Amino acid sequence: MEQRTYNQYCATARTLDLIGERWTLLLIRELLTGPRRFSDLQASLRGLGTGLLAARLKYLEREGLAYRTTLPAPARTAAYALTPAGEELGPVVLQLARWGLKWAMGERQADETFHPGWAVLGLQACFDAQNAADLRAVYEFRVEDEILHATVDNGTLETQHGPAQRPDVVITISEDTFVHVTEGRLTLADAIKTGTATATGDRAALRSLKGLFRLPTPQNRHETTG
């Protein structure tokens, strides 16, 4: 597969030469949450064929953005992880997500896929560090078959796939309800009241959750200030 290039001696153009191909940046998005098996990437990137996924991973390896590794016991299976250069794209991906929440999201379209695991980075994109300045708590989210958790520690946030060892709050929610909450069409409190979500654990930590993640107010790209 021939690599496209802008043929410009410019840092922005060189970067787009590396990560501008379709699916490449989304693969980096997936690997930012930690090493992933080939099957994990297939499940998260529905619509990306097996052959193209293999080609994109080889490309990331060749360009020094990802490498093959082995997951620790008990898994001990082959996986892919980001190199230091790949990991430094994290702030770029998060800033794109923040921009998208404000200028590009809107409501989910009928033909758009959704994977709850994307919330691992989505929570970071919406995190309000100021409201978490004096909070230490671990939140576990169970979105149907997907489990992820968020650790808040005095203004910092770490999110990971999988269950937490000692969660302070456990939230169980359906995928559809989770989407409605992330769209801002429904609050988590209302979802709990109506029974489409449940929350167990420390009440104070649950109350604090309300101010930890804030969606930006959607804006119309077509409006001008002039």
- pLDDT tens figures, 2-59: 678 999 999 999 999 999 999 999 999 999 999 999 999 999 998 899 999 999 999 9
pLDDT at residue 66 in the model = 98
DSSP 84: H
Of residues 22, 20, 21, 58, the one with CA closest to residue 38: 58
Q: pTM for the complete prediction?
A: 0.88
pLDDT at residue 226 in the model = 59
Average pLDDT over residues 72-93: 93
Peptide bond into 84 cis (omega under 30): no
Residue 110 banded pLDDT, cuts 50, 70, 90: confident
- pLDDT tens figures, 194-213: 999 999 999 999 999 988 99
pLDDT at residue 200 in the model = 96
Check: CB of residue 132 under 8 Å from CB of residue 205.
no
What gap in Å lies between CA 67 and CA 62, rounded to an integer? 9
pLDDT score of 1 more than 60: no
Q: What is the mean pLDDT of the chain?
A: 92
Q: Percentage of the chain surpassing pLDDT 70?
A: 98
pLDDT score of 129 more than 80: yes
CA 30 vs CA 22, 40, 106, 216: distances in Å: 14, 9, 22, 23
Domains and CATH numbers, the chain: 11-88 (1.10.10.10), 116-209 (3.30.1050.10)
pLDDT score of 131 more than 80: yes
Residue 108 banded pLDDT, cuts 50, 70, 90: confident
Check: CB of residue 92 under 8 Å from CB of residue 84.
no
What gap in Å lies between CA 160 and CA 33, rounded to an integer? 6
pLDDT at residue 215 in the model = 85
- Quickly count: other Cβ atoms within 10 Å of residue 20's Cβ: 13
| HSE-up (13 A, CA, CB side) for residue 3 | 17
Q: Percentage of the chain surpassing pLDDT 90?
A: 77
What gap in Å lies between CA 161 and CA 22, rounded to an integer? 25
